[in-house]
Every structure is written in structure tokens, then in C-alpha cells.
Amino acid sequence: MSIKIATTHNPVIDLIKNRWSARSFSDKDISQKELETILEAASWAFSANNAQPWHFIYAHRSDASFQKLANCLMPGNQPWAKNAAVMLAVLANKKLDNGAENKAAKHDVGAANTTLMLQALTMGIYGHVMGGFDTAKAIELLDIDTEMQEPVVFIALGYLDAPEKLEEPFKTRELTGRTRKSVSEISKHFV
């Protein structure tokens, strides 16, 4: 198995260093109970006004609806994502309970996705968040009221498999080390 542990310049916790976006998934299923644990972890993310503006629509690989979700993905994601154990469409609720626009909705959905992914990792389950999907197709398939919600990302979840089972260019991407911008590139001391 390819575990791509991040080499960091500061003492980042192992859970974060060990999280990466896998593409090679085994045929091992994720149980409904395991998925509910992962989704509950997502529910505990911080959110503005405690609005919890996330909504997850999922299908297990064994569900007929799984392929319908996978068909929403862009062609570059379909060859490997079809092997995930679970596919999730992640939506953002655009309004607060009082009807006002939730300007932090996408930010908060991202926070929920982070806690979801970290919980999954503690269970030996890897995920890959994808912005590469056909928005119009997802809206139609999921019958989304675009005044109230919008699709943000799709997530493929599964247990790891050997990178060698992937076709190129996915095999190389699976084996290539991880990099990030330096702290000085992403931050500035305001004085």
C-alpha cells in the first residue's frame, strides 16, 4: 500500500500528516454503521451561527444509485472513483434559518468535510474530495432547489488498494509525493 506521509517543517500532528487524497480503492465495503460514524464526525464541525449548512447525499457501491452519482463526475475522475466503496455529493444550504444568506456556508461545508475525512482516516478509510463534477447534472439528478442549496464537491471513500491497479496518469499521481506551499507563501505577519 502507498501511504504518503507528509514531510512537514513544523510538528504537525500525525493524523493531518497521514491524510491524503487516495485514488486506488479496494473492493472492501464500508458498512452503514461506519459511514454513520464518519458522517456524525462531519456534523461536529464548527459553523457560523451553528447553522450546520452541510447536507450529504450518499450511495454505497452496491446501490444502483452509486453509478448515477459517479456519472456526475468529470471524465478525469470517473476511471478511479468508480471503485470507491461510498460516493457522496456534498451540498451547502445557502440560507440561515431566518432566511438570510449564509455567507459562510461553503467555508463551513469545507470544515465538515475536513472532520469527515479525519474521522475516516482514524478508521483506515481514505477519501478523495472532488470539485470536478458536472454541476448541472448533479442539480438535475439530485433535484436540488438552487434557491436553497448548491452542490459543492463530491467525495469518494474507500479502503486503500495497490496503486499499481490504476491506469496512467492516476498510478503516477498515486505514487508521487505530496507537496504544499510554505507557511511564508500562505501567511503574512500583520504589524
* 152 pLDDT more than 80: yes
What is the pLDDT at residue 177? 86
* 27 pLDDT more than 70: yes
Enter the pTM of the model: 0.94
Q: Please list, in sequence order, all residues whose beta carbon lies within 8 angstroms of the beta carbon of residue 108, skipping any fewer than 6 positions away.
A: 45, 46, 47, 48, 51, 52, 53, 54, 92, 102
4: confidence class by pLDDT, cuts 50, 70, 90 = confident
pLDDT (tens digit, 9 = 90+) per residue, 166-184? 999 999 998 888 889 999 9
What is the pLDDT at residue 85? 98
**Cα(125)–Cα(85) distance, rounded to whole angstroms?**
10
Taking CA atoms, 8 is separated from 18, 175, 181, 183, in Å, by 11, 18, 11, 10
**Domains, the chain, with CATH or none:** 17-163 (3.40.109.10)
